[in-house]
Structures are given as structure tokens and as C-alpha cells.
Structure 1
């Protein structure tokens, strides 16, 4: 695959930083689910929003993860199966659920694998969107290089920035988590350019 998490220093993140990294990816992808839910009248974005609120608080150290199994169950109930929908939007909506599920799992038990898999998935969502939208089409038989696409470069830069900011903070503070959350929210625009505002 052309997308990889190997360049990111994910192995240097401690537990709260892992949770915050995954929260950032989930927050950044949330508009994809919100738009899918609105257009297809399926799923409840409020469940994903609640999950992220709890996860951000967990990263900040003001929320325990002891009851997160219930949140996992609620998330699964609202996770779309793309084969059941004609809309392409079901796919990035599923990816959003998978990212938040990884964050919930990591909150209950630290996991470098969850971070690496989520990083790759988030990049793959962008790559698949670029392919679907025709952005990779050229006049030749060869598709345009993925690495040259703005959305893909922006997602790589976003993940790098989140890692850099996390590694610059040894302990979580409410102020820092708020700043990171605002960065990931990106004025309500997702990593594939979706906005429901």
C-alpha cells in the first residue's frame, strides 16, 4: 500500500498520548459520519459525539475507561455496513466508526497497533476518496501519484503535527487537550473535505 504510518513516531507515545492521537483522528473524520447519517437516515451521530467527548476527557485524565465496553456496544449498533447502502458515503462513515472503536479499545488498554492501524486507515480513507472522486485520473494509463494530492498531503501533515504536539507535552492538561481537539475539529471540515455546517 502507498500509505504507511512508519514515518510517525507512534512508538514514542505513552498511553494518554495514544488515546489523544486516536481521538484526533476520530474527531477529524466525524463529519463524514454525520453527513452519511443525514443523507441516508441511518445511525446516530450523537453516539459517536458522546464517545469522542468521553475519550477526550479520558485523554485529559478526568474520565476513566472502566465503562467503555458499553460505549463499544453502542458504537457497533450505529456502525454502517457499506454493502447495505448504495451511497459511497457509507465507506468513510464506517472508517470513522473504526477509528473511534480503536480509540475506545486503546483507552481500555494501551496499544501501539491500534495507533498504527488507525493512522493507515485514515490515510486510506483519503486515498479511496481521491480515487472515487476521479482526482487520480489522468490522460495516461497511469493514475496521478497519490503523494502529490493536496488532501493526502494534508492528512499526512495533520498526523505529523498531532504527534509532534503530543510528544512536546509529557503530561495532559485541560488546556492542551482543548487545543488539540480544536485542531482536529478543523472548523467542522473532515480529512476528505466534508462539512455538515
Structure 2
């Protein structure tokens, strides 16, 4: 979903690997209640624990330069819990999948770095909001119509602000912790699911 203008994606793709990873990680943190609720409802306690652990470990990766974290192992663990979507999937599987995409992109930005990881995370996060609107309002929207929706406007503003801050920031534990705290303080996901 290319809802942002070309300039936004160009700036995203020009970010350094650590910046792309941090952008995706912040979106994943914000989306995390969507996955955690799905794991809770489906009684997948292992997924609940692992997702939280991977999230925390990635924040640690960004705050501790001397870490010995195996990112490949994190990716492997995450991949076990990515919801498989089919025609019978409950709605909750979709935002859970998008949260996994954002988290996996935060790891991939460092491990593989194709240069479009932040863009994939951005798309996953905005797709969550678009699908939520279509699901709750029982409608299908074109991109132009979505621009008029308050939740989409809030999501776009959040991502634009995040990109602006990360693109200007120097890599530091203080900046990383600030982003994490702000995200946690929101208290809910991009579609209003409360954090526990």
C-alpha cells in the first residue's frame, strides 16, 4: 500500500541499516498489542512469550553496542509464530501478521539489509489500520478515501514524525530508550488495542 508520497519512501530507503531497524522496531512495538492479543485469544503462550522476548532483545540490541545477540536465531524463533493466513483465518490474524512483519524487518535490516526493510514495516503498519477500518466499517476503500479517515491520518503523522526523528538522530542508547518509552506510554496499538 503506497499511501505515502514518493519522497517519504525515498527517505526511508536512504536510512542506514540501524535506522531502518529502529524505525521498524518502533512500529513493531506499537503494533505489539495486536499480536499479543491474538496469541492470547488463540492460547498460544509460547508465541506470547517469544514475541515479547524478541521485542525486548531487539531493544537491547540497539542500546548495547557490545551485545552478543544472535539475530539469525531471533528471526528463526519469530518465523515459527507468524500466523498463516487463509480464507478461514479470523480477523485478528491479520494485524498479528503485520506486527510480525514489522518485527522481522527490524531484524532483517541488520542481518540481510536489502535497503527496503523500513518501507516493508511502514506498509505493514498502515495496512493494519486500513484493514481494521474496512473490517469494522464493512467497506472497501481506495487509497484516496483512506486519506479522509482519522486513524489513517494519525498513522501517517506518527510514521512521518518517527522518520524525521530517526533520520536526524545519532545512534545512542538514550535516543533508543526515549523512542521505546514514548511508544510504551501510548498504551495502545495503532488500531486501539490496549497494551497489557
> 1:161 aligns to what?
161
Check the 8 A contact 2:99/2:124 in 1, yes or no: no
Pairs within 5 Å for 1:1-197: 1=1, 3-4=3-4, 6-8=6-8, 9-42=11-44, 44-62=47-65, 64=67, 67-83=70-86, 86-134=89-137, 145-170=145-170, 172-197=171-196
Check the 8 A contact 2:101/2:120 in 1, yes or no: no
Q: What RMSD, in angstroms, separates the aligned Cα atoms of the two structures?
A: 2.6
Matched residue count = 193
1:2, CA displacement in angstroms? Answer: 5.4
1:174, CA displacement in angstroms? Answer: 1.6
Change (3 A) 1:70 1:143: closer
Segment of structure 1 superposing worse, 46-55 or 29-38:
46-55
Structure 1 Cα separation of the partners of residues 48 and 66 of structure 2 = 21
1:4, CA displacement in angstroms? Answer: 3.7
1:186, CA displacement in angstroms? Answer: 4.3
Structure 2 Cα separation of the partners of residues 178 and 193 of structure 1 = 23
Q: If the length of structure 2 is used for normalisation, what is the TM-score?
A: 0.86
Runs of 5+ unmatched residues, structure 1: none
Check the 8 A contact 1:82/1:90 in 2, yes or no: yes
Change (3 A) 1:174 1:66: closer
Change (3 A) 1:135 1:193: farther
Change (3 A) 1:133 1:14: same
1:164, CA displacement in angstroms? Answer: 1.2
Runs of 5+ unmatched residues, structure 2: none
